[in-house]
Structures are given as structure tokens and as C-alpha cells.
């Protein structure tokens, strides 16, 4: 079968490998659409310190159940569209003992620490498969990235009395905007790109701020009546946005960090104490986040096609990553279609 493999910086190609053998507790999935995400791009750039090379990328999966192992529960049905929870957990680390398997110390994610789904078929434990006949494989390829934003909103404990500022309107930020709006919060979306801000409004943001052309502090003062946002979700991963989150959040507010800031970040630490703020990390997503995204997508009133920047053949993977690398600000998701 075909597989896309990244061998090193700028070195990606289409290879042949054996199809997976189906275990008794496993489901064989025919992959249809698999998304390239930011971690895949950084692997291609040689900037992903967590990756184990060479690697088959891909953990944003939309496929169809092809075959079932003999011990798979009967509710799983051949021919139904599905996705995969692409994280592992050890069961013994401090996080696992608290039931927070998404933050397992020894997690291995598809396409990063172990081979991913950019191939014709994958076999995975049935416990990791989520299916729903009302969604298409293309829908399912968007579930995992949106679930990360949904999880950040859960980490923030967002309610209908909150004002939430989402810094960064890429795919992860989009998930945070949608989930915050679904919970009844007043959402402010901030980004450098006006097209992304327009989409944020379609997805539930009440207000938008262009951080490149507007006075962010002034606009937040106006929109929050000088209170500051109750919650700020950082979905960019830059020192400037980390600092902005701490500086602009309301007294006794919550800051949730999704983005990885590559350089060290300096803070005015008096705000930690004066404001008595909660600063929380948010990693991956939990099964309930996946299920919440699936229920949202079943409404059929969300602009999914605007979240898909391109659909490409496996043979065009290199070209797609090169284009994304040349203009990263305009891309939501690139899907690789293994049916063509």
C-alpha cells in the first residue's frame, strides 16, 4: 500500500509498505482524508523536536471501517465513516492516575512519536475509534484539530457569563471560538488576518480584533468596559501573545495556553499575584471533546469547506507542504485524499 513518509528536513516521499495485519482487538480503517497539521509542517521544516524520524505523518483522520477483529464489539459496523483518537497513554504516570489520559507523560501521537495515518490503511484498537453514520470521512478529518480547541474551553471552565478572548484564529483557535460560543460566552477573536477574522464571526465570535492594525488594549477596554476578558485562550504560540494574555486578562481571570512558544517568554510576574490569575495548560483532547465536536458537526450549519484550504493527492504532498511553508498565515487545513 501507499504511504507518505518524512525522512528529514525537506525530505518527503511516497513509499510502498505492507498493509497492516488485523489483530483481534483492532479495526481496519480505509483512510480517505488525512489532514496535514502544524506539527507535520514543522517536521518537514526540521523544527519538530518531539518527532521520531523517519515517520509517516498524519493524526487528523477521516476514514471508513473496512474490517473488524474477532473481539471488536458489535456496535462497530463495516462501511461506517469514522475517526481515530490518535494519542496513547501509559496508565501509570501521575496524569493517567488522575484520569487525564490526554496529558500522559509518555504519550505517543500518530505521526510524531509513532507512524501516523497517511497511508491507504491503518489498524487501530477499537477503543480509539469514533464513528457516526451522519458524518462523512471529510468531516471526520476535521474532528481532531477542532477537539483541541474544545478541550481548551473545558480547561478554562467557560460559562455563559464569561467574556472569552481567543488569540489566534487558525484551526485550533476556531475550535475554541465555536465551543465558547456554544457555551453562551461572549467571544472576541483576535488575529492578524482579516479573512480568518471574518470566518471567526461566522463561527460565533461577537467581536474581532486585528492585532496588526488595531490597538488591542484599547479595543479590549472598550469591549469589556475596562474589566478585561474573563478568559483568554492563547492559540498562537509566540512570546508576544503569551505576554498579551497575562497583561490583558481580567483580575481573577483564567489564561489557557495551547500554543508552544519556541523562545523563552519573559513576564511581568506582579500580574500573577495582583490579579490572582489561573494559568492553565491544555494538551491534546479527551474523548468527550471528540464527541462534542462530532455533535456540533452533525448540525450541518457550519462552513466546513472554508476550513479546508486544499485537497491533494498523496503524490502532491511535497508540493502542498512547500506551498504551506511559503505562506503559512493563509492555511487552515490541507487534506490528503487517499481515494484518488
What are the pLDDT digits (tens) for 296-340? 999 988 998 999 999 999 999 999 999 999 887 778 899 999 997
Query: 149-281 has which CATH code?
Result: 3.40.50.720
Q: Grid coordinates in use for 30?
A: 480505509
Query: What residue segments make up the domains of the chain, in order of their start?
Result: 2-135+298-337, 149-281
Name 9's Cβ contacts closer than 8 Å, sequence gap at least 6: 44, 45, 46
**Predicted TM-score of the model (pTM):** 0.96
What are the pLDDT digits (tens) for 137-194? 999 999 999 999 999 999 999 999 999 999 999 999 999 999 999 999 999 999 999 9
Residue 91 contacts residue 32 (beta carbons within 8 Å): no
Confidence grade of residue 261 (pLDDT, cut at 50, 70, 90): confident
Please report which residue ranges of the chain form alpha helices under DSSP H. Answer: 38-45, 94-97, 137-140, 143-156, 171-182, 194-202, 216-223, 239-248, 270-274, 287-297, 317-326
Average pLDDT on 22-48 reads 95
Determine the Cα–Cα distance for residues 257 and 320; give it in Å rounded to an integer.
Answer: 29
pLDDT at 137: 98
What fold does the segment set 2-135+298-337 form as a domain? Quinone Oxidoreductase; Chain A, domain 1 (3.90.180)
Residue 244 contacts residue 265 (beta carbons within 8 Å): no
Residue 129 contacts residue 65 (beta carbons within 8 Å): yes
Name 285's Cβ contacts closer than 8 Å, sequence gap at least 6: 102, 144, 147, 148, 150, 151
Amino acid at each position: 500500500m501507499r504511504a507518505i513518509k518524512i525522512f528529514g528536513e525537506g525530505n518527503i516521499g511516497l513509499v510502498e509498505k505492507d498493509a497492516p495485519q488485523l489483530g483481534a482487538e483492532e479495526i481496519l480503517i480505509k483512510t480517505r482524508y488525512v489532514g496535514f497539521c502544524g506539527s507535520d509542517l514543522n517536521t518537514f521544516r526540521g523544527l519538530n523536536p518531539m518527532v521520531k524520524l523517519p515517520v509517516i505523518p498524519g493524526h487528523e483522520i477521516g476514514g471508513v471501517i473496512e474490517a473488524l477483529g474477532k473481539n471488536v464489539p458489535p456496535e462497530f459496523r463495516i462501511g461506517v465513516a469514522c475517526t481515530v483518537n490518535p494519542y496513547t497513554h501509559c496508565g501509570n504516570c501521575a496524569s493517567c492516575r488522575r484520569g487525564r489520559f490526554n496529558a500522559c507523560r509518555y504519550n505517543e501521537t500518530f505521526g510524531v512519536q509513532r507512524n501516523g495515518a497517511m497511508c491507504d490503511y491503518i489498524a487501530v484498537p477499537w477503543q480509539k475509534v469514533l464513528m457516526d453514520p451522519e458524518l462523512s470521512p471529510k468531516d471526520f478529518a476535521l474532528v481532531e484539530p477542532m477537539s483541541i480547541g474544545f478541550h481548551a474551553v473545558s480547561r478554562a471552565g467557560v460559562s455563559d457569563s464569561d467574556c472569552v478572548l481567543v488569540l489566534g484564529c487558525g484551526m485550533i483557535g476556531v475550535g475554541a471560538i465555536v465551543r465558547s460560543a456554544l457555551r453562551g460566552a461572549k467571544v472576541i477573536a483576535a488575529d492578524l488576518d482579516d479573512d480568518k477574522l471574518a470566518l471567526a464571526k461566522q463561527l460565533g465570535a461577537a467581536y474581532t480584533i486585528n492585532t496588526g492594525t488595531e490597538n488591542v488594549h484599547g479595543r479590549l477596554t472598550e469591549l469589556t468596559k475596562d474589566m478585561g476578558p474573563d478568559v483568554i485562550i492563547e492559540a498562537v504560540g509566540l512570546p508576544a501573545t503569551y505576554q498579551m494574555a497575562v497583561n490583558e486578562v481580567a483580575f481573577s481571570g483564567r489564561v489557557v495556553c495551547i500554543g508552544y512558544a519556541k523562545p523563552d517568554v519573559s513576564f511581568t510576574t506582579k500580574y500573577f499575584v495582583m490579579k490572582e490569575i489561573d494559568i492553565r495548560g491544555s494538551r491534546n483532547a479527551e474523548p468527550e471533546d471528540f464527541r462534542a465536536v462530532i455533535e456540533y458537526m452533525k448540525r450541518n450549519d457550519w462552513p466546513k469547506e472554508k476550513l479546508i484550504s486544499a485537497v491533494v493527492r498523496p503524490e502532491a504532498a511535497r508540493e502542498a507542504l512547500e506551498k504551506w511553508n511559503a505562506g503559512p498565515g493563509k492555511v487552515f487545513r490541507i487534506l490528503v485524499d487517499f481515494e484518488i
